[in-house]
Amino acid sequence: MKKNERYETTIVDLTHDGMGVAKIDGFPLFVHDALPQETVELQVTKLGKKYGYGRVIKRLTDSPDRIEARDKLGWQTGTMPLQQLAYPAQLAFKTNQVQEALKRIGHIEVDVPETIGTKNPWGYRNKGQIPVQNVCGQLTTGFYKKGTHTLVPVENFHIQDPEIDKTVVVVRDLLRRLQLTAYNERNRSGDIRHIIVRRGQRTQQIMVIIVTAKKRVRPLQLIADELAKRVTEVVSVIQNVNQDKTNRILGQVNHVLYGKDYFEEELLGLTFKISPTSFFQVNTDQAEVLYQTALDFADLKESDTVIDAYCGIGSISLPLAKQAKHVYGVEVVPEAIEMARDNAELNGLDNTTFVAGTAEEVLPKWVEEGLHPDVIVVDPPRKGLDDVVRKTMIEVKAPKIVYVSCNPATLARDLADFVAAGYNVEKVQPVDMFPQTSHVETVVLMSRVDK
């Protein structure tokens, strides 16, 4: 096989990130915008030792699951890689992802039910993080072309709350009017790095965060005041200062330009204050489904003690606390812990203890101090559980563990260790938090088996 050669072949599968898989004499080629069962004429664009890439020259047959794409820019930016796949087929794809990861990586045979979908797979994101660049001499918002830092101008992201898209455009136009410049990462010049808009979909409250490369950007106060007049839902405008040479979006310093240093959202009958740097699930409706599934799996009694090992601002801890005797939460971000405490007070819950620190540091200390949880709940980042956390959880022998995962591969790896240590995987439930993308969340219930 050589680069630029053409082949007629049938797409046999999808990769974990939604690319079609063709096999030429057993050699896999990954192909953009190609679905299983489609016959295509493709051209080889790149070759490696174990796999290559191709592009469709002509589609000869269509998959029965193919639908018309909403916006080709969603492919260029990588924001909607599955937009050509009918939503029921997206859910089936995600169910299969979880099933295959558990089987192949974790060697776990368990029934995986259908992924729980959403009624509206569009306009669901409650947070937009929009990069800013100078394009043709003008400050422009959009998204990076996939795999690059080249900005593609975008005004309608389709998967974001439409009110967020509108607010971004208002901020952009105010920045242009006052002649502020976009940050240039090559020579580190310019004023504005990102515009972040967060919206409470139940409260309609909007927070705008303008990320600047300098501490002092004089016209920002004028922009904040004008923005509050134009977008009546705005309750908070924040300047975040990020002077570092980094790909990290947010810096450590926040200045309130208008309103409060938080906005509020409602979830499972509770009200949450959310700060500029606080994590909150980006799909509010499906977050309720995800967390309710975790609560159902935990099946708490009033006498139960619970540890929430990645508690954030308390979005899982507080619903747990409504049913349990006491909930202990740990989170690495001190600001999130302060907000978790505020949220507990706001909702009248006094049976919680929140501690700032890493789970790998705090969990062993709690165990040494004699804390014996009936249930441990974990919702780790994509890398999964730290080795120390996993080891400590196994040593404490909690009767039940509820694992909320955003990565089937690391979930399967971690579950294998728990199974080897005497836990049974009782229930698995995938939940679709990110329609039009390949990402899937999964809730797992494990129970301790006495050997």
Q: Give catalytic residues, as residue numbers.
A: 406
Q: Calculate the CA dihedral of residues 206, 295, 376, 275 and round it to 10 degrees.
A: 10
Distance, CA of 194 to CA of 133 (rounded, Å): 9
Euclidean distance between CA atoms 286 and 292, whole angstroms: 10
- DSSP3 helix / strand / coil % (the chain, rounded to 5): 25, 30, 40
Strands 375-378 and 352-356: unpaired
The answer to whether the CB of 44 falls within 8 A of the CB of 3 is yes
CA distance 3 to 9: 16
- Are the beta carbons of 315 and 267 closer than 8 angstroms? yes
Q: Which helix (H) or strand (E) holds 171?
A: helix 162-177
Beta-strand pair 206-212/234-241: parallel
Say which residues have a Cβ less than 8 Å from residue 305's Cβ, sequence separation at least 6.
Answer: 324, 325, 326, 327, 328, 371, 372, 373, 374, 375
Q: Which residues pair with 445 in a beta bridge?
A: 402, 427
Name the strands in the sheet holding 206-212, side by side, starting at the edge strand that comes first in the sequence. 151-153, 138-144, 127-135, 192-199, 206-212, 234-241, 253-259
